[in-house]
Amino acid sequence: MKIAVLEDEKNLNDALTIYLESEGYEVKSFYSLKEFFSSIKNYQDIDLIIGDVLLPDGNFLQELKKYPHLAQNVKVIIISAKTDIENIKKAFNIGAEDFIKKPFDYEEIILRINKIFHLKKQKITDNIYYDFNSKALIKNGKNILLTKKESKLLEVFLKNRGQILSADYLINAIWEEPVPKNTLTVLIKRIREKIGKKDIIISKRDLGYILF
Amino acid sequence: MERRLVHTIKNKLGAIKFASSVLNKKNIPSHKKDVIINNLKEAANEAIELFEIFSEIDKFKKSTLNKEEIYIVSLLQKLTNINLNCEDKAILFDKIWLEKAFNNILTQIKEYEIMLSFKDNQLKIIFLFHNEPIYIDLAKEIFSEIGKIKEDKGKIEIIL
């Protein structure tokens, strides 16, 4: 998912950007309306804008009105310390999906993003997530599609994280019928390759496999 | 005016709190943490500066003014070290606070030009600046006691 952060307070903008990147999102930062509206056309694939209302060069909500196409196609979360009802009304009237009162907690941002996009993501490692809705891995903000069997196996591991699962248990959960153990080994190898970390799923001799 | 300053201080502190909490996240690479730390140092200094302005405004409001005759053009000439060619005007005000008001503007502006005009017993001082002065609240508070101050993009106008 691609996110544009529009915030003039450098400290907040940079920290928010770094945090969102660490959560696997691709982020583009903007510090002024001029910078944002002059270059947003180059980022047609932005999914979400997280923006402050009052910037030194104008009001984001008023400017956004001039770009109805943008407001209709991209989700917007307003972050503002101006929390009077008129300001909140303006934000929602213009099509904002959510309004977050400053100061906010970093976890709150992720909760709101997930709610807006109905996302059910689970973290696998730093920068790698599994999205239960799209059955895809999100690696550094990019989607990596999994086959039906790969996603099913990864979901079994994620639901039983930290537990050793026997080969028979896994085969039964994925194929629901006996298959050669080599078939399971190949499937696990493919998942390790797609995640890009060999030791993400460990093989325990005579016991089975474990996802850390 | 003071409300806006309080809002700015709250905003700044909120950003500091957020950035500090992000520093606790284990999966943030160290070079990115360095960016946050450097920003935090800058933001902390700005917050202190804002508090100082807030405190100065508070002191000004509570103080008893020691009024004396002050020649504005001469004072400005002394503060800027620029030879200002304009008819001077005397006002009755506290010299220390008036100097603080001018300094609040001058320290905010890195590069500036000064234009002066004297007409109908009104002295107009215009500062044209090349950067955005953001914390001139003390100057606004003080000048509002003795004249008018107008702020526009690239320009601060004081009419005394």
**A151 in the Ramachandran plot: left (φ > 0), alpha (ψ -120 to 50) or beta?**
alpha
pLDDT tens digits, one per residue of B10-56: 889 999 999 999 998 877 889 999 999 999 999 999 999 899 999 99
Between B88 and A7, where is the model more confident?
A7
**A176 — contact with chain B (CB < 8 Å)?**
no
Q: Which residues of A touch B18 (CB under 8 A)?
A: 12, 15-16, 103-106
pLDDT above 90 (res B137): no
**Nearest residue of chain B to residue A13 (CA atoms):** B15
Residues of A within 8 A of B11 (CB-CB) are 9, 81, 102
Token look-up 């060069």 returns A57
Q: pLDDT in tens for each of the 212 residues of chain A?
A: 789 999 999 999 999 999 998 877 889 999 999 999 998 877 777 889 999 988 888 889 888 888 877 777 788 999 988 778 888 888 888 778 899 998 899 889 988 988 887 667 788 887 888 988 888 998 887 889 999 999 989 988 987 788 899 999 899 888 878 899 999 999 999 999 999 988 889 999 889 999 98
Give the CATH fold of the A2-116 domain: Rossmann fold (3.40.50)
- The encoded tokens of residue B97 equal 């606070």
Mean pLDDT of B83-95: 87
Whole-angstrom distance, CA of residue B46 vs CA of residue A184? 59
Quote the strand ranges of chain A, DSSP E: 2-6, 26-30, 48-52, 54-55, 58-59, 75-80, 98-101, 121-125, 128-131, 136-139, 142-145, 201-204, 208-211
The CATH class for the domain spanning A122-211 reads: mainly alpha
d(C-alpha B139, C-alpha A75), whole Å: 41
The answer to whether residue A182 neighbours chain B at the CB level (below 8 Å) is: no
Categorize the per-residue pLDDT at B2 as very low, low, confident or very high, splitting at 50, 70 and 90.
low
Domain B64-159 fold = Heat Shock Protein 90 (3.30.565)
| Encoded tokens for A95 | 């099509």
Query: Which residues of chain B lie closer than 8 angstroms to A104, CB-CB?
Result: 14, 18
pLDDT in the model for residue A25: 83
Residue ranges of the domains in chain B? 2-61, 64-159
- A104: contact with B, CB 8 A cutoff: yes
In this complex, which of A9, A11, A22 lies closest to B27 when CB atoms are compared?
A22
The Cα–Cα gap between B65 and B71 comes to: 17
Angular region, B56: left φ>0, alpha ψ -120 to 50, beta rest = alpha
ipTM surpassing 0.85: no
Yes or no: say if A128 and A104 are a contact pair by the CB < 8 Å rule: no
Listed by start position, the domains of chain A span: 2-116, 122-211
Helix (H, G, I), strand (E, B) or coil at A211: strand
Q: Which of B18, B25, B132 sits opposite A22 (nearest CB)?
A: B25
Closest CA to A18 of A28, A30, A8: A28
Secondary structure of B83-130 in HEC code, one letter for each residue: CCCCCCCEEEEEHHHHHHHHHHHHCCCCCEEEEEEEECCEEEEEEEEC
Structure-model confidence comparison of residues B133 and A193, the more confident one: A193
Helix (H, G, I), strand (E, B) or coil at A138: strand
Do B25 and A126 lie within an 8 Å CB cutoff? no
Angstrom CA distances, B38 to A11, A12, B32, B43, stand at: 9, 12, 10, 9
Q: CA-to-CA distance for B21 and A6, rounded, in angstroms?
A: 20
